[in-house]
Chains A and B, each alone.
Chain A
Amino acid sequence: MSSPLTTEQVLALAPDAASAKAGRGLATPRSWVSVGRDAQAVWGECQGSGKTPYQTQIDLRGPAFRCSCPSRKFPCKHGLGLLLLLAAQPDVVAPATPPAWVAEWLASRIQREEQQQRRQAAADDPATAEQRAAKAAKSAAARDAKVQAGIAEVSRWLRDQVREGLAGIPARSPAVFDRMAARMVDAQAPGVARRLREMAAIPASGDGWQGRLLERMARLHLLVEGYTRLDTLSPNEQAEVRQAVGFNQKQEEVLAGAGQRDRWLVLGQVVEDEEPLQVQRTWLWAEAAARPALVLDFAAPGKPFDHSLVPGMQLDAELVFYPGALPLRALVKQADARMPASFFPSSDIHTALGTYAAALARCPWLERYPLTLGPVQLALTHAGWLVCDQAGHSLPLRPQFGRSWELLARSAGQPFSLSGEWDGDWFTPLSAWVGGFVDLVGGVL
């Protein structure tokens, strides 16, 4: 049977803070007319403001949610509330035989899965595969041509900026970047467009903007140069460049590659806006191979993300890395046992920065890299919070990180382990091990 999620893990599934709060409010027996569970699912009827209670059901294998309420949030507060109730008071949710409305849904889910497998089998048929391949090759060639033209344009643009001098940029910002970013969207090079959009905020970001902007522009120049000379690069380097420009490799192709089987710990999950989509970054860590992996998921605003990876959970799983000079982005090919985390990686700051430098050497466009530090302690200086190791090295915590006091309170000043994203300037905590796994993304309340 699937292991029930902890309160923190359930809250990590919430689409926003309001849903998490509403879900907590419903995680009490008196909100539910009936509740029940079996090995696969948990269900309940929740008394809302209307006459008939809402029917809420969750397939624990996913977890996959379904609720009869009209909410457009996903998962809705009822689904979250039910899982929170299960996490906090498992005795209240007694094993039972699923009622008809649950059994039917579960049956339809299994049917759908089978259909999908049949469709997959049909797609693997050689005749249809050949047809599709020919069509795909044609559209790929058309896109390549578009991207090449776009790359040539951004190359000229970069040279123009440097020829005329960056001093004139603030007067023309952010339009100068936004216009070029829009051109790159049209040229089907979304990776380049995103880098240009991110530059737009720099001229107004205060002291030292000139250096920060030049660094970004130089990094983009490097990408442009790489793409222009793609033929001279190794296949892995080619993949890295194409990925940075914004070519997305098909998931099926990636999954066909060899996987890495290990015990993977979900270190943390961050959701960020990446116009016009939202991106969910899930960082994992392989226990035996001692390496990180990044699983990305994209969704339109308000639409659900994949919820199968929950921070603080570990899974015996096979992950396949996207090809590239720095294998980091990955897909879960197959996952077996899931359970609460029983280990947490850690190294001193010097060693961790060594892995960052090595990663940067393989992929100069790396924007952030996970570091797993420990044993570390926190310190507070006039400039802000620091994480310090036993050797006396320290990294600055991102000022927007709002849970330093909480982390200090949990640790009582004792050394602990801390994972986070390092972008070369700031360390943004993802999770910690302080007597147990602590998810540090989002708020404590």
Chain B
Amino acid sequence: MPATALDLTHAPDWADLVAAALLGTERRPPGLPAATGALAQRLERLDPTADAEAALLSASALVSLYRRAGWVPAATSPTPFALAPADDRPACTPQAAWHLAQMLAGKHTVALPEWLAALATRQQTPPPELLPALLGYGHTRAGMREAIIPVLGARGRWLASLNPEWDYALLGDQALNDAEITALWETGSQAVRLALLAQVRSRNPAQARDLLLTTWASERADERLALLKTLAEGLSMADEPFLEQVLDDRSERVRKAAAALLTELPASRLVQRMVDRLTPLLHWTPGVGPRLPGVGQIKKPSLEVRLPEECDAAMQRDGIVLKPVSKKLGERAWWLNQMLEVVPPAVWAAAWGATPQEILTAKITKEWRGLLVGSWAEAARRHHDLTWLEVLVDLAQNGEKALSLEELLPALPPARREALVLALLKGGETLHGESPVMAVLRMLPAPWSHELSRALLKVLGQRLRQIDAHLRTDWHLRAALEIFAQRIPADLASEATAQITNEMRELPYWGAAIHEFEELLAFRDEMLRALN
């Protein structure tokens, strides 16, 4: 029980009365407390010898009331909070605030990142009364912090400085000077330091690395891991010497993280070591004869593959995992797969004087073809090699089993991605939960273009009009409705609703999902309009 304003237990006369009541008058007749003035006059009228119980109860009533009425708080209050700085940007309209309140209360919360981004673009803030709830939301959901920080404004940052749970927001989105950076780096909480490092890194990658080096040796393993991961942004060969050292870190997870970062750098020593290890294992034989479209060469180029004999300490230092994660691959194939994924595929094209098409369609030991194509796909993704990716997409569309379009897609530029999905949608296939386009749509991040969304709405409407047994159990498609409602541009809400008939709304099993689909789209539309 926290201390209350009136602590009667420590008053001597009151404590005597309590002690007497606890013990009971039959064990010891009570005395009356000493008092002066009006209270004394009242107490004198009580007679403990004649009626001990009544005297004790009456005295207790008098003394407790007397003290309660006369209590005054001590005039040594703690200092109230410092004043907030002047607001630096206007608050959003009450209607927009209401949308925020609804999302924070759990309704259509999936739309919160979009709302926050729109608010930030308009240079507005939430109204003050919702700032604590928003800051609290970011406290429990670290993934939301990046979206929350830019809308807080001066008032929000001031609040964040008063509650340790909200210190992640302290940095705000303004650049700090060197002295402020050093001070925060040395004294901030883990969340603050992480955010600080990310912020410095985005402005000046070298400064962030130097900052990290000042305390690297004294950080705990989990902190080293988290801090190291912030180097993924702005990664360059300038970081390579440091990362190469971290390959000898005490913690295995930190070593692995450093290796993962080095594999992103094609010129790193780690990647070069992988090339050296792989070169004797891959033997390329060029084709014979001219390359003519539709005819083929007299003899196709071929690739012979040998598996590595062992996974030595040096390989493991470079991040190669000894035991396969799945049972599909044997140990040695698994080592080969990991090494291939690290090397930019362009290295092989250059070494063998061959094009990606030639390499990917070459004659390869049948057993290892899938492994190689899959590994190259990962390498092309990792090193953003668009030439290779295009050839791989082409292969995937032509039925290459080792490849899946939805895995290649995220690595492509947005416009190219859209074009591919659009072509699939317009392909005329009936939409169902297992359609290839569904997997691709799930991987396609917002924002979706109007063209793509309209094409999707059209095929979706067509599908929902054919009410058959398969539709009733197509829970993949039903579940995807929520994703569609999040990513279709909100201003298409009325067009989406136009595709929905009352019959669909009353479908058993589908009705509720369709209702939510319409609701979420309409809510997003309304919430974005309210910000304009």
Contact = CB atoms under 8 A, between A and B. Distances in A.
Interface in B26-80: 26-27, 52-54, 56-58, 60-61, 64-65, 68-80
Contact of B75 (A214, A217, A391): A391
A218 B57 contact: yes
Contact of A159 (B5, B53, B71): B53
Interface in A398-414: 399, 405-406, 408-410, 412-414
B225 interface: no
Interface in B101-135: 101-102, 104-105, 107, 128-133
Residue among A356, A406, A426, A445 with most chain B CB within 10 A:
A445
Interface in B80-94: 80-84, 94
Given A379-B79, A384-B2, A412-B83, A208 B23 contact: no
A393 B129 contact: no
B73 A364 contact: no
Given A211-B9, A211-B18, A28 B61 contact: no
A380 B21 CA distance: 37
A78 interface: no
Interface in A160-216: 162-167, 205-208, 210-211, 214-215
B-side interface size class: 35 or more
B35 to A, nearest CB: 15
A410 B128 contact: yes
B75 A162 contact: no
A386 B78 contact: yes
A401 B61 CA distance: 29
Contacts of A361: 69
A25 B78 contact: no
A353 B77 contact: no
Interface in A284-312: none
B163 interface: yes
B5 A158 contact: no
Contact of A162 (B25, B94, B105, B128): B25
Interface stretch (A68-76, A103-111, A219-227, A318-326): A219-227
Contacts of A252: none
A222 B68 CA distance: 16
A162 B131 contact: no
Contacts of B15: 211
Interface in B261-314: none
B60 A412 contact: no
Interface in A107-139: none
B77 A165 contact: no
B162 A410 contact: no
A98 to B, nearest CB: 27
A378 B80 CA distance: 6
A353 B2 CA distance: 21
A395 B72 CA distance: 10
Contact of B24 (A162, A222, A377, A426): A162
Contacts of A412: 83-84, 128, 155, 158
A158 B69 contact: no
A281 B81 CA distance: 32
Given A218-B57, A424-B68, A349 B158 contact: no
A383 interface: yes
B494 to A, nearest CB: 10
Contact of B133 (A165, A350, A424, A445): A445
A164 B26 contact: yes
B95 interface: yes
A424 to B, nearest CB: 5
A104 to B, nearest CB: 30
A215 B66 CA distance: 12
Contacts of B75: 391-393
Given A211-B14, A379-B78, A410-B129, A25 B102 contact: yes
Nearest to B86: A412
B4 A396 contact: yes
A444 interface: yes
Residue among A24, A88, A218, A357 with most chain B CB within 10 A:
A218
A349 B61 contact: no
A336 interface: no
B17 interface: yes
Contacts of A350: 72
Contact of B522 (A30, A206, A210, A357): A30
A353 B27 contact: no
Contacts of B18: 210-211, 214
A170 to B, nearest CB: 11
B73 A395 contact: yes
B8 interface: yes
A30 B25 CA distance: 72
Nearest to A87: B94
Contacts of A215: 8, 60, 64
B418 interface: no
A406 B101 CA distance: 13
A110 to B, nearest CB: 35
A169 B158 CA distance: 50
B21 A425 contact: no
A392 B105 CA distance: 37
B329 interface: no
A214 B159 contact: no
Contacts of B23: 165, 167
Interface in A424-445: 424-426, 438, 444-445
Contacts of B217: none
B3 interface: yes
Nearest to B515: A49
Given A162-B53, A391-B75, A414-B83, A425 B61 contact: no
Contacts of B6: 424-425
A163 B25 contact: yes
B54 to A, nearest CB: 7
Contacts of B98: 7, 24, 88
B129 A225 contact: no
A89 interface: yes
Interface string B146-173: 0000000001001100110000000000
A146 interface: no
B350 interface: no
A381 B81 CA distance: 11
Contacts of B78: 379-381, 386, 388, 394
Nearest to B82: A413
B526 interface: yes
A360 interface: yes
Contacts of A158: 53, 57
Contacts of B52: 163
A422 to B, nearest CB: 9
Residue among A215, A353, A379, A414 with most chain B CB within 10 A:
A215
Contacts of A222: 58, 61
A399 B2 contact: yes
A379 B61 contact: no
A261 interface: no
B194 to A, nearest CB: 24
A18 to B, nearest CB: 11
8 contacts: A158-B57, A210-B18, A217-B57, A379-B81, A399-B2, A412-B83, A413-B81, A414-B84
Given A412-B84, A424-B6, A426-B4, 14 more contacts: A164-B26, A210-B22, A219-B64, A219-B65, A221-B58, A353-B72, A360-B68, A380-B78, A391-B75, A393-B72, A396-B5, A405-B159, A414-B83, A425-B5
Report, nearest first, the 4 A-B pairs whose CB atoms are least far apart.
A165-B24, A218-B60, A377-B80, A412-B84
